[in-house]
Structure 1
């Protein structure tokens, strides 16, 4: 299973070579190593960023891939390399295109801890938690005039525990000589306002929210059609309560103020 990759859209626009090297070149190295040592199964972490700005929702696996940033482009290049390599091998390949991942391990063992210098490029969940902890003065929401139910962007948030289950199901169904490509999402879009409201309830914090003009290149809504993964892998997202996923992640955040550098360990009751 190949998860390793830098994964911040904003950073990728500032340092594209880092992303092409880390994602695309290093995937090539992984494939070469697999070929050398006879490893015949690959489960690859990809992203919905490979689709770019689709004209039609929801996104299916047949939606045209036209990525608009170096992160998405690097991932699509890696996918193309994998598929080309597969043509002349008997390798089992599963490519999973993640949507917006949130949450933490309920037992407190794993959580998200981005490098401090990347906070401004991070995900909205990280920004919400930083605001709740007082690390930043508030949350900046970009875009309130989109043609959505409350004017803010819509995204498909997938809990990391469901993501783990998708990988297990993919491994179980991987067949020699076959390729499986699947979107991993809930199929439901949540607005940024809804996300922020859920984060406030999960943390119990009153987060100051500043609404700004939309950011160039952002699109109004992105959410998946999970029909294929449900029918072929018998997988369906179970952790779909947004507030509950954020509450689990918040427990980890409070127990790891310095990320993985902290010595305390959270133990579930």
Structure 2
């Protein structure tokens, strides 16, 4: 190679020897060049190792390819109370499960329990992500071969929704739009949507059927109805299989004591009545606050249809089994009977064995007097009916988990029943 790069001012001692038009490079330069190659190779190898160890890098992941006879279900909000119970049931039934949760309301401890129960490769994976980030959601769909989506992820407190409505429209309505768009883009054609009886508002006639007019009276119910409308409008011009489950007040926990309900302490004020009862029974709060005693009901307190979480997830699995392309199913999931708040409190006292102090306060904004379901359609079409309809028994099961997990999904404690 001819060397025109150096001028004559270069000292002769530093110039390479030339013979017959060929340069003989300086040995020091050769050593530097080889060293740089070795360093680059080492850095490349290190990067590859780090990428392979990263959860997001696995080009041959079982979750990224379809397998005959295996249904891969994305469970959004799968670290939450209901979502984790649904994931447990799906795993028990040999489904492949991917949980996506941003842990704003869910518990990583619940995911760890599921991972310990189902450690086999290709059974369960957890992805930390926010459904409000379209890029993250599209990446998840691109890297995983989903057959169906069970969409649980949502903030879900009526009282909180009246105080911070925009959070609910973003978290429920907007996020559902992101999920449906990703499903359309990546051709995932089965959606089981976790909706609520709050979309009905306060109907004049009981029990509530699927034909009851939806007139929600709080932002939670309105946001859920908007999400339903998005799904239904999209389904009209697609071949999507859609099942919408409007369920009522959820109680109970896994009968084998593996999972339970552990809401954030700062959300206790907005939480379910069962959680408040247990907190009062454990002395975490001084007593139970019952809001509203002047409703047009037999004892003046609200009447609700309480559905055990085990029955609820069974309804979701049956909906998945019956989902068909191009078909839409809408079902109420409840027991078909209502219980008043006062009746619920008495059942909780018996279940816990604690004479819980009760304070009666004015109504909470956005609440309605009486809501219970007519579940005959889901029985007729999906052969589903609630099996756990005794309030006290469901509360006793949940209480056992509460007693043995005083720190929620922190360090479990062994407590005799």
What does residue 263 of structure 1 align with? 411
| 2:158 is equivalent to residue 14 of structure 1 | no
Listed one character per residue, the Cα deviations across residues 44-92 of structure 1 (whole Å, up to 9, x for unaligned) are 0000000111111111111111111111111000000000110111010
The one of 217, 230, 253 aligned to 2:379: 230
Give secondary structure in 1 for the equivalent of 2:151: coil
TM-superposed CA distance for 1:3, in Å, is 0.7
Residue 112 of structure 1 pairs with residue 256 of structure 2: no
How far did 1:216 drift?
4.6
Structure-1 separation of matches of 2:416 and 2:216:
41
Q: Between Structure 1 and Structure 2, how many residues are aligned?
A: 268
Identify the match of residue 64 of structure 1 among 194, 200, 213: 213
Do 1:108 and 1:266's aligned partners in 2 also have CA atoms closer than 8 Å?
Answer: no
1: CA distance between counterparts of 2:190 and 2:281?
42
Structure 2 counterparts to residues 1-269 of structure 1, below 5 A: 1-260=150-409, 262-264=410-412
Unpaired segments ≥5 residues, structure 1: none
Unaligned 5+ segments in structure 2 are 1-149
Q: Distance in 1 between matches of 2:300 and 2:267?
A: 27
Over alpha carbons, which structure has the higher Rg?
A: 2
TM-score scaled by structure 1? 0.96
Contact 2:201 2:368 (C-alpha < 8 Å) held by counterparts:
no
Range with greater deviation from structure 2 (226-235 or 210-219): 210-219
State the shift of 1:258 in Å.
1.9
Q: Using a 3 Å threshold, how does the CA distance of structure 1 residues 267 and 210 change in structure 2: closer, same or farther? A: closer
The TM-score, its normalising length taken from structure 2, stands at: 0.62
Once superposed, which parts of structure 1, at least 4 consecutive aligned residues long, lie more than 4 Å away?
265-269
Equivalent position of 2:65 in the other structure: none
Q: Which has the higher contact order (CA 8 A, sep 6+)?
A: 1
Secondary structure in 2 matching 1:176: coil
